Amino acid sequence: MKQFFVGAIGLSMLLSACEKREEISLPYEGDKIVVNTLIQPDSVVYIRVTRSVPSSVYDDAGYKDIPGAAVTLTAGDESVWPLQTQVIKGLSYYVSDRKAVLGLQYKVAVTAPGLQPVTGADTLPAAPLAYNAGAQRSSSRVEFTLKDHPSSADYYRVRIYMTDAATGRGTFLLFRLDPAFNNSLADFFSKGNYNSLIMNDKRFNGKQVTFVLQTEEPIMNAGEMTVEVSALTYGTYQYLNTLFAQRESGNVITGSPVRVFSNVTNGYGIVGGINTRKMVFKIE
C-alpha cells in the first residue's frame, strides 16, 4: 500500500520553527491539490499551491508547483482580489494586491489540469488582548498577561524570540509553561520544551491570566525580546494542533498516525485566519 504525507508546505514564512521530520503511515488517496495560507489582518495574502506526494518523497523539493493552476481569492460575497505570482526564498506564492481586513470571509479556489478542483474558506479572529510582557536577564522566565473574551470559544498560539535589531525577527526559543506559576493550566504542561504553545480557553474562559513561561536556556542577552500571541480561528487551531500531534506521534515507537486537519474541500492544507499581537520589550 502506498503512503502519503501532507505537511505545512507553503507556511514556511508563517510557521518558521525547528522541525523534526517523521514518517507517518496513512493510506495515499491519490494526487490532490494542496493549499496553504494563513490570512492575517493588515497583511497581504500569501497562498502556496502544490501537489500532494507519497511519503517516499519526503523533502521540500518533492512538493512541486502545479503548472497551469488557476487560483482565485474571494473576499466577502463577491469581491475577487487580483493575485500576482512571487518567488520568496525559492518558493512560489500567489500574493494579493491588497491587505486583508476584519469582518470578511476569505475563500480560495484552485483548479488545475488533471486534478479535482478545491476550495477552502475562513474568517479572521479578533486581536488577542495580550499585554505586560517582560523578562529579566539571567532568568529563564518570561511573563505576559492575556485577557480572554468571555462570550466565545477562543484559541491561541504563543511563541517567543530574541528580537533582531535589523529585521525585528528572530529564532523561536524553546520553552514550556512554568509549573510553579501555572497550576490552573495543568492540561498544557509537558515534560519537554517546544517553540510554540497552542491552546484553547476552556481553562480560563473570560478570565485574565498571567502566563509564566520557562525558557530552556537562561536569557543572557541584554537586548530585546518579542512575545508573540496569536488569536486563531477554530480551523487554524485544529490544523496547528493536529500538525503538532502528528510530529509528536512520530517520536513514539508505538504511537498511532495522526491525520492533519484540513478545511480544503477535495484537497489538503489549510485556509485559515490568524491575528497576531507582537509585544517587543527590553530585557531588564
Instruction: Classify domain 4-125+262-275 by CATH number.
Output: 2.60.40
Query: Per residue in 183-199, pLDDT tens?
Result: 666 566 566 789 999 99
How far apart CA 175 and CA 54 sit, in angstroms, is 33
Contact 270, 10 (CB under 8 A): no
Q: Are strands 44-51 and 91-99 parallel, antiparallel or unpaired?
A: antiparallel
pLDDT at 25: 53
Query: Per residue in 90-132, pLDDT tens?
Result: 899 999 999 999 999 999 999 999 999 999 999 999 999 999 9
**Phi then psi for 185, rounded to 5 degrees?**
-115, 40
pLDDT at 31: 87
- Which residue type occupies 109? A
Between the two ends of the chain, the Cα-to-Cα distance in Å is 57
Query: Per residue in 12-31, pLDDT tens?
Result: 444 443 344 445 455 667 78
CATH topology of domain 129-231: Immunoglobulin-like (2.60.40)
Query: Per residue in 145-156, pLDDT tens?
Result: 999 999 889 999
- Mean pLDDT along residues 256-284: 92
Ordered by start, the domain boundaries in the chain are 4-125+262-275, 129-231
Q: Are strands 268-282 and 208-219 parallel, antiparallel or unpaired?
A: unpaired
